Amino acid sequence: MGAFLDKPKTDKNNDEGVAHGTRYAVASMQGWRIDMEDAHVVEISMSTEPPFLNWSFYAVFDGHAGNKAAQHSAENLLKTLLATSQFAQ
């Protein structure tokens, strides 16, 4: 069978809202894969510090043959960006 199921998992996870005057929506479905390989991030406020308090962060990470890179990116990309000197200025 490999990395695929006999039939797809079609349950969907949905989320939507409004952040800083912008509407957003997210939907995910596992499909034919044995595990969910993708990840996403919705952070209404990037940080508790101005100006990032009024900035939102949205990202989609497409897993390929596994979820580790997508999960790692979802958990760490925003922290890494905020820690750079360009964002600290």
pLDDT per position as a tens digit, 33-78: 999 999 999 999 999 988 899 999 999 999 988 899 999 999 999 9
End-to-end CA distance of the chain: give it in Å, rounded.
52
89: CB partners within 8 A, 6+ apart: none
Mean pLDDT of 21-33: 95
What integer pLDDT is reported at residue 64 of this predicted model?
84
Instruction: Give the long-range contacts of residues 42-46, CB within 8 A, separation 24 or more.
Output: 42/15, 42/17, 43/78, 44/17, 44/19, 44/20, 45/19, 46/78, 46/82
What integer pLDDT is reported at residue 53 of this predicted model?
93
Return the amino acid letter for 37. E
What integer pLDDT is reported at residue 2 of this predicted model?
62
d(CA 4, CA 82): 37
What integer pLDDT is reported at residue 88 of this predicted model?
78
What integer pLDDT is reported at residue 30 of this predicted model?
96
